[in-house]
Amino acid sequence: MVDKVLGNKKAIVFFLFPALVVFIGLIIIPIIMSTYYSLQEWSGFGEGTFIGLQNYKGLLSDPIFVKAAVNSLILAIASVFIQLPISLLLALTLAKGVKFEKSLVTIYFVPVIISTVVIGQLWMKIYNPEYGILNILLKAIGLESFASEWLGDPKRALAATFIPIIWQYIGYHMLLMYAGIKSISTDIFEAAVIDGSSWWNTSMKITIPMLKPVLNVSVIFAVTGALKVFDLVYVLTGGGPAHASEVIGTYMVSTIFKGNQYGYGSAMAVFVILECFALSILVGLLFREKEEAK
C-alpha cells in the first residue's frame, strides 16, 4: 500500500504541497524580505533608500557587532566541547540500564520544557549577590573572594550567562543520543560482553562510532542554536553590562526596535542565516570526511 502511494507522483505532490506552502510562507519569504531590507537604509516607516551592501560593510566596522559575533562563536564552541560531551556521557550511562533509568531521562529533560523566562528568573536568583545560593555557597566554603555580582560584572557576565544556556539543553541532546543508542541492536552489545569488552571499551569502539549520524545532528543543532541564541541572554542581562554578554540576537533586537534601524538589523539577520548555513555544511563535511577516511 505504501509502495503504491509512493509510486504515485500526484499523491506525493498532494501530501507535500501543504508543508511546502507553510515552508515557503514562514521561511523562504521572510528570508527574501530580510535580504531586500538589508540592502536599504530604512527606519521601519515610509520608503527605504537603496544603499547596496553598505549595511554589511557597516557590520564589519561595528565593534559591538563584532563582539556579539565573537560571543556567539564562544557559545557555539562551548556547546560543542562542554554541553555535548556531558550529554553523551549521560546518554551512555543511562542507556546501559541504571536504576530508575526512565525517571532520570525525564528529569534531565525537564529544563528543556520549562519556559526560558522561568529558567532566567531561576538563575537570576542563583546569581543574586545578596541572597543568591552561589555566593552563599562560596562564602560557606571559605571562597568569599570569589563571590561576585555575577550578572553585573563585565568580566564574569558572559560566562554567567552562557552556563544556564548550556545547562538547559544538556537534556535535549542527551535524549537524542539516548534514543540513538537504544536503536542499536542489543545483539551487538551482548556479543561485546561475551568477548569480554568493558562498558567503557564498548562505548568508545562500538556505541559512539555507530552513533555518529546522531552526533552529527546534535553538533549542527548545538552550533546553530548557539548562533541564534537570544531569549535567555535577553532575560538575564539584555546583552549587558556594557555589551559584555551581547550576542547577535540581542544586538539585532535593540538595533531594530530601539534604534529603528530596520535595514541594518535585517543585515544582521541575513548574516546569522548565512553563518548557520555555512557552519552546518562545514560540520556535515567534517563528519563525512571522517566516515570516508575509515
CA atoms within 13 A on the CB side of 213: 6
Burial class (CB in 10 A: 0-12, 13-18, 19+), 171: buried
Helix axes 170-182, 101-113, angle to 10 degrees: 140
Please tell me the distance from the alpha carbon of residue 235 to that of residue 227, in angstroms, as a whole number.
17
Burial class (CB in 10 A: 0-12, 13-18, 19+), 53: exposed
For residue 203, give the DSSP letter: I
Cell of 180: 540513538
Find all residues with CB under 8 Å of 93, minimum gap 6, and list them. none
Please tell me the distance from the alpha carbon of residue 169 to that of residue 44, in angstroms, as a whole number.
35
H or E element, residue 124: helix 116-127
Residue type, 207: T
pLDDT tens by residue, the chain, 294 residues: 666 666 777 788 888 889 999 999 999 999 999 999 999 998 878 888 899 899 999 999 999 999 999 999 999 999 999 999 999 999 999 998 888 889 999 999 999 999 999 999 999 999 998 889 999 999 999 888 888 889 999 999 999 999 999 999 999 999 999 999 999 998 998 898 898 889 899 999 999 999 999 999 999 999 999 999 999 999 999 988 999 999 999 999 999 988 889 999 999 999 999 999 999 999 988 888 766 666
Q: What's the pLDDT at 48?
A: 83
Q: What's the pLDDT at 98?
A: 85
Q: What's the pLDDT at 291?
A: 66
Residue 50 bridge partners (DSSP): 40
Q: What's the pLDDT at 69?
A: 95
The pairs formed by 61-64 with CB atoms below 8 angstroms and a separation of 24 or more are: 64/243, 64/246, 64/251
Closest to 242 measured CA to CA, from 127, 157, 154, 148: 154
Give pTM, 2 decimals: 0.87
Q: What's the pLDDT at 144?
A: 85
Q: pLDDT for 16-60, tens place per residue? A: 889 999 999 999 999 999 999 999 998 878 888 899 899 999 999
Q: What's the pLDDT at 220?
A: 94
Q: What's the pLDDT at 293?
A: 62
H or E element, residue 212: helix 212-227
Q: What's the pLDDT at 294?
A: 60
Taking each continuous run of H as one helix and of E as one strand, the counts in the chain are 18, 2
Please tell me the distance from the alpha carbon of residue 272 to that of residue 259, in angstroms, as a whole number.
19
Q: What's the pLDDT at 47?
A: 83
Please tell me the distance from the alpha carbon of residue 14 to that of residue 18, in angstroms, as a whole number.
8
| Residue 41 three-state SS | strand
Cell of 103: 525517571
